[in-house]
Amino acid sequence: MVCIERLAGLCPPDDVVSPLLVCSVLSLPYSPVIYLDFNRTTPMAPSVVEAMKPYWLTHFMLPGQEHPHAQAVAEALENAREGVAILAGCEPFEVVFTGGGTEANNLGILGGVDRSERGHVLVSTLEHDSVLGATAHLAELGWEVESVPCDSNGLVDPESLGRAIRSTTRLACVQLANPVLGTIQPVREIADICHSRGVSLHCDATQAFGKMPVDVTELRADTVSVSAHKFYGPKGSGALYVRRGLSLRPISFGEPREMGLRPGAENIPGCIGLGAAASLAGRCAGDVAASIGDLRDHFAYGLLSSLGDRARILCLDSPRLPNTIAIEMPGDAKRIQRAARQLAIATAQSDTPPDETTRALRAIGMSGAQVGRTIRLSLGWTSSRDQVDRAIELLADASDAASAA
């Protein structure tokens, strides 16, 4: 594994400090936690913390204040915006800072339509709660919201989506990558179909940035969401790419900031942190994706050889994020999770209302029993082969115990 902090010049070479940096910090007295839930949230990269530091106590002014120090802050904010723009492949003026991915999705969807209209919206079944929540709000306002299914490989078919478009369709929402299955949607083809029919496309790409190259210009979506805490940036910070020329409405109100799309005092340290995380991801993501992909494969095949044909990796043949494994294995997943406490992993939590994991697994046609046997694993920049080997042992043991119970 490439140690990202070393690339960022913030920690000594591998032979002095291992890539277990985060996990050693996380250690309990007797059992260091092996964190395998990077798609939920990541620790901040030390270099991101360092980048934010000057803006807490020293450069604490807001860009709107009438002092040269404030102008320096304004410049730092624009540099951070440029960092996000470079990672996303767009122009800085197409980047709107938000308070996170959820707000970016709400702004892209609720700000992307005229809410007083009563149009038709298409939403893939794999979407995040914030996308489903925003479209459910449109439904409350009288909009028709139609689900677009995915196939058993976790992929949305562009042609099927195209067939669902009506004359009243205003917006389609399709994510770039799924946090549970890891599947990557053909967003470019979907965008082309949408645009040929005069429909806008909102793409939640929060799970993709930092894990794979994302070029929003090539994606051709009209709005694209970014969440800093998904790639080693601060929580409470995100951005929305807004294609130049697209007319968007703000969803909250106040002193005009961020091209009139997001009011309120700027969270300067949060924006700087996102910019720093974006620069780090841009610099390191290629190397990291390759090595994480190798480690993911080692993990998957290790699990399969320990568990035999009683286990199954989901959506194995689909284009997938390099860090993600969803695996159906023998035994109750929650029981496995409890038995393998040294691992931080994710399982389906609730059927009514279904959580994100349950929804994704149901969307590919799994039964309730299958959902209850599935574990969601995601690797990160600090994941190591030692951790993965230990995780294979622990999961195999816990699965044996749980399936024997």
Contact 296, 323 (CB under 8 A): yes
By beta-carbon proximity to its own copies, the closer residue of 136 and 316 is 136
Residue from 19, 270, 275, 322 in contact with its own copies (CB under 8 A):
270
By beta-carbon proximity to its own copies, the closer residue of 61 and 295 is 61
Terminal Cα-to-Cα distance of the chain (whole angstroms)? 37
By beta-carbon proximity to its own copies, the closer residue of 265 and 290 is 265
Per CB under 8 A, 265 contacts its own copies: yes
Q: Residues touching its own copies: how many (CB under 8 A)?
A: 68
Which 8-state DSSP code applies to residue 40?
Answer: T
CB of 208 to its own copies, least distance (A): 17
Beta strand pairing call for 223-227 and 200-204: parallel
Contact 150, 364 (CB under 8 A): yes
- Residue 341 token pair: 């406490």
CB of 293 to its own copies, least distance (A): 24
Residue from 2, 7, 49, 401 in contact with its own copies (CB under 8 A):
49
Per CB under 8 A, 341 contacts its own copies: yes
Per CB under 8 A, 78 contacts its own copies: no
Residue from 12, 14, 25, 71 in contact with its own copies (CB under 8 A):
25
By beta-carbon proximity to its own copies, the closer residue of 40 and 188 is 40
Residues 6+ apart with CB under 8 A from 285: 210, 211, 212, 213
Contact 374, 327 (CB under 8 A): yes
Strand, helix or coil for residue 123: strand
Residues 6+ apart with CB under 8 A from 197: 162, 165, 169
Q: From 22-30, 76-84, 149-157, 214-222, give the range in contact with its own copies by CB under 8 A.
A: 22-30
Q: From 146-154, 234-242, 299-307, 320-328, give the range in contact with its own copies by CB under 8 A.
A: 234-242
Residues 6+ apart with CB under 8 A from 258: 96, 97, 266
Calpha distance 193→170 (Å, rounded): 13
Q: Is the peptide bond before 353 cis (omega within 30 degrees of 0)?
A: yes
By beta-carbon proximity to its own copies, the closer residue of 45 and 224 is 45
By beta-carbon proximity to its own copies, the closer residue of 191 and 402 is 402
Per CB under 8 A, 229 contacts its own copies: yes
Residues 109 to 148 in contact with its own copies, rule: CB under 8 A: 110, 128-130, 132-134, 136-137
Calpha distance 73→18 (Å, rounded): 36
Q: Return residues touching its own copies (CB under 8 A).
A: 22, 25-26, 33, 37, 40-44, 46, 49, 56-58, 60-62, 64-70, 99-103, 105-106, 110, 128-130, 132-134, 136-137, 227, 229, 234-237, 251-255, 263-270, 337, 341, 344-347, 349, 356
